[in-house]
Amino acid sequence: MTFSLLRARSTAVWLTLVAVTLVSWALGEDHGVGSTIAVVVLVLAVVKVRFVGLDFMELRTAPLILHALFEAYCIVLWMVLTGMYLWL
Amino acid sequence: MHVTIEKAAAWLGVAMLGGFLVMFWFIAGLIPPMSPALTAEQTARIYSDHGLRIRIGLALMLLFCWLFTPFLALLSRQVRRIEGYWGVMSLTQVMLSVTFPFGFAVCAVFGVAAAYRPERNPDVTQALSDLFWFIFVGLVGPLIMQVIILAFCVFIDRRQVPSFPRWFVYFNIWYAMLGVPGCAIYLFKTGPLAWNGMFAFWIPLTVFGIWMIVTAIMLTRAVDVEAAERKARAANREWEPAA
Amino acid sequence: MIRPAPHVPGEPGVWIFLFGDMVVFGVFFATFMYQRAQAPELFDASRHTLNIAIGLTNTLVLLTSSLLVVTAVRAIRLSQRGAAQLMLAGALVCGLIFIGLKAVEYTGKVTAGHVPTQNNFYLYFFILTGLHLFHVLIGVGVLILLMTQARRRNLTATRMAVVEGGGCFWHLVDLLWIVLFALLYLVS
């Protein structure tokens, strides 16, 4: 009963998210200031955010406007945070 | 007749929003806020250098802040319409609405007092100034409570033709959450949660302005819904519901 | 292949709140990055005093709770009430674990002398995680609300939309923490 419910895309996404989290942690734990690893960590974070929005919040099957606004948010967030990290 | 007065009340609220910004920002210059981290001497210097503007701006606020009340009365009446009688939620709206202009009036009194005698001990001036900011920025409870009750009422409104659209629920919840950080100013003298900080001052100020304008628009629509209902009842020769 | 009709998750209005919150937190994130740029060494040194194990565990706990919530919402749609309630209870437990770990983390930091007034990093750490914790507490309330709805035999379209919207709020809590974990524990 419960297990057939879990045999779905969302579970696969969850496994991916856990894996990406562990990779980010391994990379990000020990690095100094101003390194490229931080840029990778930020990319991975936005990738995770995107998965949560598209597959957990079910925006993948939402009307285009909602889906597009969310994608725009992810892109802008990534650009602003990475830009501030690298160039401020 | 009802409709004209009610809609005028809604727009009067927006006009007072503008008035508040003019009085506090352009006239008194108290926005952008001074830093809580200033010494007593520095604070007293601000109140003596800009004393006249501050006193004029705040005196005007003391005279005009009561013009918020019709807007809030309209809001309470619309909550009453949803609740169906003068119940707990509508009465709470009324009671909290009473406190709203006092939030502006009491803080203005302390601000005027701070600017009134520049020759006095700077510590006293700073204490009075602190009270101004504590009330102006920190007293967020009443309005937060009002919008949460409003959100809840709209959420449970099961009438055929609701007064407010569903998204208004979520809009009010959004406003309430963003207004809350103001209450933390008592713990910080610098940083984003100080009375001049991003999270405790600028964001709540911005969303307050947005909220007033959006709510005024929604209230005028609700007044139209009510007027249409009144007309329909009159056409069916039904009794008007009790006020 | 016929694509299914687009479906708005939750009531349309809830997205005003969700996007609104995401934008405001985006401003908070940018403010943090600005402050970091003023003192990168200080932020990096302070970051290393954080307990990354707690941060990592909290991230995994929230991800799991989100999986449970999205599966529970699907279960409600398929009228599998028992499974839905079980999973929502699980998500609730995850939420409580997060809050518990946060309490442990805060107490540990404060007793070690790392208080919000210590430096800018810790000021923002406590404020950002505190605001997020406030959202988690509300989220726990929302989960309890979802559990009451999961008990019903038939949900009207509006109720189902409220359930979906509530689920989305929990995913928002998860989403914001993903960024916070990256910014506070890994990047600075």
Q: Is ipTM > 0.95 here? A: no
Banded model confidence at residue B60, pLDDT cuts 50, 70, 90: very high
Eight-state DSSP code of residue B168: H
Mean predicted confidence (pLDDT) in C120-148: 94
pLDDT at B69 over 90: yes
Eight-state DSSP code of residue B28: S
Instruction: Record the tokens describing residue B76, joined without a space.
Output: 């309470």
Banded model confidence at residue A31, pLDDT cuts 50, 70, 90: low
C29 located within any domain: no
The pLDDT value recorded for residue A34 is 62
- If one counts the domains in chain B, the total is 1
C4 located within any domain: no
pLDDT at B1 over 90: no
Mean predicted confidence (pLDDT) in B25-32: 94
C115 located within any domain: yes
B203 located within any domain: yes
Eight-state DSSP code of residue A56: I
**Amino acid found at C175:** L
Q: Going by C-beta distance under 8 Å and a sequence separation of 6 or more, which residues neighbour residue C41?
A: A33
Banded model confidence at residue A2, pLDDT cuts 50, 70, 90: low
Interface-testing mutation among C70, C74, C94, C168, with chain A (most A C-beta atoms within 10 A) = C70
Distance (Å, whole) CA B157 – CA A30: 54
Banded model confidence at residue A33, pLDDT cuts 50, 70, 90: low
C13 located within any domain: no
Among C residues 103-132, those touching chain B with beta carbons less than 8 Å apart: 116-117, 120, 123-124, 127, 131
A84, closest residue in chain C (CA to CA) = C33
The pLDDT value recorded for residue B33 is 96
Q: C16 and B167: CB-CB below 8 Å? A: yes
Give me the residue from A11, A33, A44 closest to C41, CB to CB: A33
Give how far C12 is from chain A: nearest CA, Å: 9
B240 located within any domain: no
C21 located within any domain: no
B239 located within any domain: no
Q: C67 and A10: CB-CB below 8 Å? A: yes
| 3-class DSSP state of B87 | coil
C111 located within any domain: yes
User: By residue range, what is the domain housing residue B30?
Assistant: 2-227
The pLDDT value recorded for residue C59 is 96
Q: Render pLDDT for A4-21 as a digit per residue (tens, 0 to 9).
A: 777 788 899 999 999 999
Instruction: Record the tokens describing residue B146, joined without a space.
Output: 């009002």
C175: left (phi over 0), alpha (psi -120 to 50) or beta: alpha
The pLDDT value recorded for residue A4 is 78
Question: A58 φ, ψ to 5°?
Answer: 60, 35
User: By residue range, what is the domain housing residue C126?
Assistant: 52-187
Q: Which of B57-66, B158-167, C77-86 has the highest mean pLDDT?
A: B57-66
Average pLDDT for chain B: 94
B234 located within any domain: no
Return the number of other C-beta atoms located less than 10 Å from residue B127's C-beta: 15
Interface-testing mutation among A16, A27, A47, A57, with chain C (most C C-beta atoms within 10 A) = A57
C59 located within any domain: yes
- Greater pLDDT, C5 or C68: C68
> How much of chain C exceeds pLDDT 90, in percent?
69
Q: Render pLDDT for C140-177 as a digit per residue (tens, 0 to 9).
A: 999 999 999 999 888 888 889 999 999 999 999 999 99
Banded model confidence at residue C58, pLDDT cuts 50, 70, 90: very high
**B71 closest CA partner among B159, B165, B8:** B8
The chains found to touch A (3+ Cβ pairs under 8 angstroms) are C
Distance (Å, whole) CA B185 – CA B33: 13
The pLDDT value recorded for residue A29 is 76
Return the number of other C-beta atoms located less than 10 Å from residue C63's C-beta: 25
B243 located within any domain: no
Give me the residue from C16, C27, C135 closest to B170, CB to CB: C16
Mean predicted confidence (pLDDT) in C54-61: 95
Residues of chain C with C-beta less than 8 angstroms from the C-beta of A61: 4, 6-7
CB A69 within 8 A of CB C183: no
- If one counts the domains in chain C, the total is 1
Distance (Å, whole) CA A19 – CA A37: 17
Residues of chain C with C-beta less than 8 angstroms from the C-beta of B192: 31, 123-124, 127
The pLDDT value recorded for residue B129 is 96
Q: What does pTM read for this prediction?
A: 0.87
The pLDDT value recorded for residue A32 is 62
Residues of chain C with C-beta less than 8 angstroms from the C-beta of A57: 9, 18, 167-168, 171-172
Alpha helix (H) residue ranges in B84-166: 88-116, 122-138, 141-156
C10 located within any domain: no
- CATH of residue C164's domain is 1.20.120.80
Q: Render pLDDT for A38-86 as a digit per residue (tens, 0 to 9).
A: 888 999 999 999 999 999 999 999 999 999 999 999 999 999 999 999 8
Instruction: Record the tokens describing residue B78, joined without a space.
Output: 């619309």
